[in-house]
């Protein structure tokens, strides 16, 4: 959902949207935020719930590890992105 929001609401390109810091709220009353996230954003989240900072690493998985393919509306081809911290991520160009 965050990647989609970055594409639609943030106007980012496909690759940039996949490489942004993430936030995880898994229903346990706290937020886990990527250490790269801006302090002002973290402070805004802290107004609603406790916040824990975690690095985006291969293991343990603190955040989703999305992979995606999107049709390029301008060129008609396809774009693909894999989260680089996903140990099973891979890409093939044709």
| pLDDT digit string, tens, across residues 72-88 | 878 888 888 877 776 66
Residue 6: other Cβ atoms inside 10 A: 19
Residue 85 within any structural domain of the chain: no
Please tell me the total count of domains within the chain.
1
- Decide: 74 and 53 in contact? Cβ < 8 Å: no
Residue 23 within any structural domain of the chain: yes
Confidence grade of residue 1 (pLDDT, cut at 50, 70, 90): confident
Residue 43 within any structural domain of the chain: yes
Read off the pTM. 0.71
Confidence grade of residue 3 (pLDDT, cut at 50, 70, 90): confident
Residue 58 within any structural domain of the chain: yes
Residue 94 within any structural domain of the chain: no
Nearest CA to 50 out of 64, 30, 25 is that of 30
- Is residue 91 over pLDDT 60? no
Residue 21 within any structural domain of the chain: yes
Matching residue, tokens 């891979």: 90
Q: What digits encode the pLDDT tens for the residues 23-69?
A: 989 878 899 999 999 999 999 999 999 999 988 777 667 777 788 88
Nearest CA to 41 out of 12, 67, 71, 2 is that of 2
Residue 7 within any structural domain of the chain: yes
């Amino acid at each position: 959902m965050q990647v989609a929001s970055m594409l639609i609401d943030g106007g980012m390109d496909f690759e940039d949207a996949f490489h942004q810091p993430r936030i995880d709220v898994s229903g346990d009353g706290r937020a886990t935020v990527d250490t790269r996230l801006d302090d002002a954003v973290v402070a805004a989240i802290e107004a609603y719930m406790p916040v824990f900072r975690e690095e985006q690493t291969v293991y343990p998985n603190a955040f989703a590890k999305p992979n995606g393919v999107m049709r390029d509306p301008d060129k008609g081809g396809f774009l693909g992105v894999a989260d680089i911290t996903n140990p099973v991520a891979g890409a093939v160009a044709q």
